[in-house]
Chain A
Amino acid sequence: MSWLDFFRANRKAEPDSATQAKERLQIVLAHERIGRTREDFLPRLQQDLVAVVARYVAIDPGKVNVALDRGGDISTLAIEIELPGAKSGASAAPAAANG
Chain B
Amino acid sequence: MNAKFTRRSLLKAIVAATVSPVLISSVNAATIPHIVVVGAGFSGATVAKYLKLWAGSSVQVTIIEPNSTYVSPILSNLVLNHQKTTTDLSFSYVNYSQKYSINMVHDKVSHIDKTAKTISLENGQSIPYDKLILAPGIEFEAVSGHDFTKVPHAWQAGEQTNLLKSQIDAMSDGDSFVMSIPASPYRCPPGPYERACVVADYLKNSKGFNNCTVTVLDENAGIIVEADTFGAAFNEYGINYIPDAVVSSVDSDNKVVNFSIDGGAIQSLAATTLNIIPNQKAGNIVFSAGLNSGNWAPVNPLNYESTMAADIHIIGDSQGTGMPKAGHIGNSEAKICADAVLRSLNGLQPDPAPKTNSACYSPVSSSTATWLTIVYEYNSSTQSMQPVSVPNLSGGYPAASSGASTRNYNNMFNWAGNLFSDTFS
Please say whether chains A and B are actual partners in one complex.
Answer: no
Q: Which residues on A are within 8 Å of B, measured CB to CB? A: none
Interface residues of B (CB under 8 A from A): none
